[in-house]
Structure 1
Amino acid sequence: MTDDEPDDRPQVLERSRTGLGELVLRRCGADLELISGGMFLMDTRDGRSERAMVERVLAVAPPGARLVIGGLGFGFSLAAAVASPVPAEIIVVEIHRQVIEWNRTYLPERTERNTADPRVRIVHGDIAAWLDRDDGPLDAVCLDTDNGPEWLTTPENGALYGGSRLGRLGERLGDPGAVAFWSANRSAAFEAALRNAFREVAVHETPVARGEPDVVYLARHPAHAPAQGR
């Protein structure tokens, strides 16, 4: 590398030790990257699949929906939600307080614009525990938690993708209502669990620059509910 060439090697901006392992925020060229427990978690390079997750779930949600997003990330999902007139309430639950703060520090214009929307509420907490405590209606749910069911930086997140959790989530959904899951790869086992819990499951792929496509699973009509009137 010469003095005139840009240095695209990752530069660590901040480190934070949490109860779930170390979080590292770094800059690589013009982009930010988040590393959790030594594993790549997300970056700011694209965001198409995160936005698509929200757009797809809101496309089938009722007007005035209560939208719950599990995971703030770098704010792509929240931006898509704010851009839509469908939700009357947008709740984002993020387990890492550092991620909330880093969005404010390193992405201030985007963060301030989105959180200024009166429909938005950012909650610091675990999405699974929050869903268990909350008793409000669930019209639309987007779970962008970890890297999906088969690529977990935090093993405890695996419970979100289990059959019992899917069944309870389906019981909470209104009619119409939908839940979407983001995943860094396709999972046959998770898809089977979804089809066991919901009568309608769609799989949408978004090509990425390298590796397998990002995947959004969209599930509707809980299997326990009567088919009449659907």
Structure 2
Amino acid sequence: MNKILVLIILVWNLGYAQEIAVAKYSGGGDWYANPTSLPNLAKFCNQNINTKINTKIATVEVGSSEIFTYPFVHMTGHGNVVFSPNDVINLRNYLTSGGFLHIDDNYGMDEFIRKEIKKIFPDNSLTEIPSNHILFQEPFNFPGGLPKIHEHDNQKPQAFGIFIEGRIVLLYTYQTDLGDGWEDAEVHNDPIQVREKALKMGANILNYAFKN
């Protein structure tokens, strides 16, 4: 495992603040969408699942060495995504060294991101994660799997993963739009029950990323 990530794990165990980040990428897609999402998710997790996540969320470029200082990176957007050769190598090294990338399609990202994920892991296919996976069980139970937060194309929500030695290192959530559910209530005017489902699922993702 990358030495930097080993150090991060030791820091978690000592009880210091956990750092998470938003991924900045090229291609013209709005990587900066949902600006209130991660701060709200961090606050929810700190209040409900005993985490100590810094609610001041960093931005990290996918090709930067700084990405190795974050155990969890979230990526979203509505449009085009392009990973350069350097981005591909950097992300592969990050993810195979213990890092975790959550990509949440904010609607319109799917046709682009699948091709870019294939660049990172040409020999690993995205695999749909079954509803009985631990990701949907702890700390909140989702017996039906990934919840539906926003309706786009009348399709079922799906969670896909890239697995390395049995561990999800890249999670791609599709047809759910979790990030919209994490935003401030007035942004989308979602009912509290919908926002709670989104936040609880987000807490499960962070819990998995930190503990597995």
More helix by share: 2
Structure with larger RCO (C-alpha < 8 A, sep 6+): 2
Larger radius of gyration: 1
More strand by share: 1
